[in-house]
Amino acid sequence: MSLSHQVIALYQKAQSQLIRWERRRLLKTFWLGVGVFFVQNAQSLQTNDPLVSLAAILVSIASLYPMYLWCSGKALGMPIFPFFALTHLNTNAIPLLSNHPLVVTYPPESQFYAGITVTIHLAVGSFFWLKQVKSSPPPPLSYRALVDNKGENFFLLILAGAVFFQMYARGKWFALSGGLFALVRGGILGLSVLAVFILSYRQGEKKLTGVQSQIYIVLMISYFISSAAGLVLRDNVGVFSVAFIAYILGSRRIPLITIVMLLACLTVLHYGKGEMRGKYWFDQGGFTLQPWQYPAWYSEWIGYSFENLNHEEQEEEGSKESSPSERSSIIQMLLLAQKKSPEEYPYLMGKTYLILPQMILPRIIYPNKPRSHEGTYILSVYYGLQSYQDTYRTTIAWGLLAEAYANFGLMGCTGLGMILGTAYGKISRWSMNTSILSVRSLFSILIISFAAQSEWSASVYVASLFQSSMVLVGISFVFMKVIPNRKNPVFELMEYSHYYEVEHE
């Protein structure tokens, strides 16, 4: 082995050891988070069937194990698969333990089989993911990255555009065709996630100017207000999670006061959400809300919240709103597919996947392009949950796992785990040894935000990922530049070792 290769090997080993040592400090946070999660859900744990309990425990272990590996430093790179696996706690494990009204309609044996299916899927995915991230690859010769505070004003403009789009969606200011609306929404989704991450990271580094910092704070508050006005709080949770992660990476500290304030706001709004939805979603069949109506809107909302906070027992007895675990559950779709296929309904044999190539074609080129949720609609119509006309009004969430089972049975679920584990692992590995603001790392952040969308089918995933990826490609060429080899200390060592070898030949 040449001296240059020895230097690279030693550097990789040292870097891996340093990362593992730093990550182990996250283990306390990991176990604390696990404890808080189960304490919060303790009241909803109701099942008495040992078979169902065993299935839920297995799913929980499989969901938590990848994040444990990452926090302990045994897995390197961006935690894409660990975040993906964590979503299965809310969507699969807790519904089994909480007597979800749709899950309990199936016998314990069916629930156990569904739990085992989820466990196998995650175990296979974890195996293939870990193969990719156990060690660090050689540093890339070069990569594109944001440097010299380039693009902050552009990303502030994008964040302002996201706020405008939220207000437009609530106020219904003008009509957009379905294809154009989907295109704009997909672009805004991808851009806003990247803008929030980059600006929050720069804010943590204190690289934003005073004016830029003030605009950033105002826009983030405006985003929260305009997004939450739609009575769906989970979108804010995702966006602000990205913001806090980026800020912590940039500042090396946790903004506890800001986090506590955000959690307090979300908690207060959550208590009044049921009444607001009952009044405006269901009784009136939808609503239109203009920005100047926000003060009265939130005043009414907070009023309901404090009424419920003062009469919590009455709320628990009289409220018809489902719990968060019930709303996030998708294991009932897997149970449905396992009950009816292949005996009553043959496996689809890839029918929902055949449309995936069409998802990456622009509607301008292909006017008859299927809707992004077409895979979901195929499943709902096939299993008799909806007519095709019904799909124009409502969408029933299926998720990738139930879709895989409906197509190929247990082998489909195993194959899905292998594909996702390998893909997420390779993307994590690709972004190692690069700047957090490199195109590689930003793509990994984008994938993390998509991996958390547990209700998406493959068609939605592919369509949204393609749109957002094209946006990132554009950003990389306009605002990023290639960092040359000489700026990486590893390559300085390589260059030195090269001269050393030449002089001693």
pLDDT tens for each residue of 126-148: 999 999 998 888 888 888 888 76
In this predicted structure, what is the pLDDT of residue 171?
A: 81
- The answer on pLDDT for 237 being more than 70 is yes
Give φ, ψ of 295 to 5 degrees: -60, -45
Burial 364-391 (b: 16+ CB within 10 A, else e): eeeeebbbbbbbbbbbbebbebbeeeeb
- Cβ atoms of 367 and 422 within 8 Å: the answer is no
d(CA 135, CA 97): 37
pTM of the model: 0.80
Q: 144 has which bridge partners?
A: 482
Q: What is the pLDDT of residues 146-174, one digit of tens each?
A: 876 667 888 898 899 889 888 887 887 76
Q: How confident is the model at residue 332 (pLDDT cuts 50, 70, 90)?
A: very high
Q: Is 312 a residue whose pLDDT tops 80? A: no
pLDDT at 325 over 70: no
Kindly report, residue by residue over 407-456, the tens digit of the pLDDT.
999 999 999 999 999 999 999 999 988 888 889 988 998 898 888 888 88
Q: What pLDDT was estimated at residue 115?
A: 95
C-alpha dist (Å) from residue 58 to 98, 163, 294: 15, 41, 45
Task: Please give the pLDDT value at position 207.
Answer: 86
Per residue in 289-306, pLDDT (tens digit) is 888 989 998 999 899 888
CA distance 376 to 396: 7
Q: Give the pLDDT confidence score for residue 32 in this predicted structure.
A: 80
> pLDDT tens across 346-378, in order?
999 999 999 999 988 877 787 788 888 899 999
Pick from 407, 376, 404, 408: nearest CA to 392: 376
Average pLDDT over residues 27-33: 79
Tens-place pLDDT, residues 11-24? 555 555 556 666 66
266-303 burial, b if ≥16 CB within 10 A, otherwise e? bebbebbbbbbeeebeeeeeebebebeebeebbeebee
CA-atom Rg of the chain in angstroms? 24
Predicted confidence at residue 499, as pLDDT, reads 41
Cβ neighbors of 146 (< 8 A, separation 6 or more) are 198, 435, 437, 438, 479, 480
Q: What is the pLDDT of residue 188?
A: 72
HSE-up of 436 (CA within 13 Å, CB side)?
15
- Cite the DSSP H helix spans in 277-311: 294-310
**Residue type at 386 in one-letter notation:** Q
- For 332, the 3-state DSSP assignment is helix
Whether residue 214 has pLDDT greater than 50: yes
Residue 481 has pLDDT above 70, yes or no: yes
Separation between Cα atoms, residue 133 and residue 422, nearest integer Å: 10
Q: 309, 271 in Cβ contact below 8 A?
A: yes
What integer pLDDT is reported at residue 112 of this predicted model? 95
Percentage of residues of the chain with pLDDT beyond 70: 80
Pairing of strands 481-483, 143-145: antiparallel
Q: What is the mean pLDDT of residues 490-499?
A: 48
* Residues 36-74 pLDDT 10s: 777 766 666 666 688 998 999 999 999 999 999 988 888
Long-range CB pairs of 126-129 (<8 Å, 24+ gap) are 126/62, 126/65, 126/66, 126/69, 126/81, 126/85, 126/421, 127/421, 128/417, 128/418, 128/421, 128/422, 128/425, 129/66, 129/75, 129/81, 129/421, 129/422, 129/424, 129/425, 129/428
- pLDDT per residue over 243-293, tens digit each? 888 888 788 787 888 888 888 888 888 888 878 877 777 555 557 888 898
When pLDDT is cut at 50, 70 and 90, the band that residue 234 belongs to is confident
